[in-house]
Amino acid sequence: MRKERTMNNHSSATPKHQRWILLCALSLLMTTSMVSTSCATRLALKLLGREGDADQTHALKELAMFHAQPAFIAPGPAFDAKKSMAGKSIYRIAGPSSNPWYQQGFNGMMSAAEKVGYHFSACSSEGQLSQYQQCLAEGVKQKASLIDLFAGPNPNDLASEISAAKSAGTLVAVSHNFGMDGTVLNVSANFTVDFGLAARLLADWVISKDIDAHVLVLVSDELPSTAVMRAGITSEFIKYGGSSIKYKFENVSIAQWSTGLKPAVEKAIAEDPELSYIICIYDSMSEFVVPTIAAANLDGQIKVIGFNGTPFVLDMIRAGKVEMTIGECQEWTSYAISDAEMRLIAGMGAVKNMHIPFRIFNKDNAEDAGIPATYGKGYGDTFKADYAKLWGL
């Protein structure tokens, strides 16, 4: 059992005394031939009276604003959506149709289309490049006003097909796939959630709970969003995690989750008896991670956290099998993307920030998502009315 440490981020020493202590610490290191920066930092902080060099105050401050139900923030001025979309259509190409998360995204975008009154359709696939290519050709054939590449199709792999679509007068947007500041070639616009923020919050959660944590971060590198989340987790641990937190990344492609996650976790457990956290950057990974921890008789010793707010993961939180997930309301996201794409079609330019909110769910509020949990519950019920007003409905 690892002993918990009391959070202490401030020294009572005066600035003059602090400088003297730091000089003594550095002098001691030099006389003992210790040249490691991290060692110097730890010793100096110890002499200053701090328990560690992790900044838990920062972590707790960052997390605090995400526990409550989110508020709606308009991504732009109100507009006449019915007029803008008269005679227009949107065609959606997404990741594997068998994945319920993608199905919820489809349902949300269809709901928005029905409210406004434009034609919305989608292409089924199992996430294969050849299928994405066929879907793009079909979207052009249907003379869609805009083709939406949602959370899977990588435009970098579809350059010629996108070029053909644009030549035919069809806008091509990528959504929920790249970072907020990412430059995405070939497409008309990049509409995304703040993956970097989600990643930093995952790291902040660990920092706030255990400044000596040993962390396994499970990723799927084939998704462009993963690179952003890798960078966000790494930067937050480096800046605020201190020198005692240890972490490593393990890549398992989505197609291999059912067969690859279990051995990846087993290997990490065998290699590091001090493993205390597993971050599933996409929380559906928990389906395979949680049973592996239980089989190793390490329930409670290894905590699981993730991002997305998938209903079965929220149920696991209530059952004490998962500690936390950063939830993203899929229906809210779908409305936000629909709003941004309607604005693009109307010639209003690309929305820079759709203001898609997150909410942290843990044992204290997981019931807000329902029993059992359902998609979209726990984020408030006003956003549909807010968008309807924004669209002039």
Condensed to tens digits (0 to 9), the pLDDT of residues 157-189 reads: 999 999 999 999 999 999 999 888 878 888 999
Q: By percentage, how much of the chain surpasses pLDDT 90? A: 76
Is CATH 3.20.20.150 correct for 81-192+332-350? no
At residue 376, the pLDDT reads 86
State the pLDDT at residue 52.
Answer: 55
- Amino acid identity of residue 365, one-letter, is N
Coil vs helix vs strand at 316: helix
Residue 7 has pLDDT above 90, yes or no: no
Domain 196-308 top-level CATH class: alpha beta
Q: Which of 270, 258, 193 is nearest to 220 (CA)?
A: 258
Tokens of 237: 């641990």
Tens digits of residue pLDDT in 26-52? 444 333 333 333 444 444 444 443 345
Sorting pLDDT into bands at 50, 70 and 90, what band is 360?
A: very high
Is the predicted pLDDT of residue 25 greater than 90, yes or no? no
pLDDT of residue 390: 97
- DSSP states of 328-359 as a string? E-HHHHHHHHHHHHHHHHTT----S-----EE
> 15-19, 275-279, 361-365, 381-385 — which is least confidently predicted?
15-19
Give the pLDDT band of residue 98 (cuts 50, 70, 90): confident
303-308 and 358-361 as β-strands: parallel, antiparallel, unpaired? unpaired
Residue 51: per-residue pLDDT? 44
Q: What's this model's pTM, rounded to 2 decimal places?
A: 0.82
As a whole number, mean pLDDT of residues 95-102 equals 83
Examine the pLDDT at 303 and tell me if it is beyond 60.
Answer: yes
Q: Judge whether 81 and 88 are in contact, CB under 8 Å.
A: no
Q: Measuring CA to CA, which residue among 279, 278, 284 is closest to residue 258?
A: 284
- Whether the per-residue pLDDT at 15 is higher than 50: the answer is no
Query: Domain residue spans in the chain?
Result: 15-47, 81-192+332-350, 196-308
81-192+332-350 with 196-308: one CATH topology? Answer: yes
| Average pLDDT, integer, range 243-253 | 96
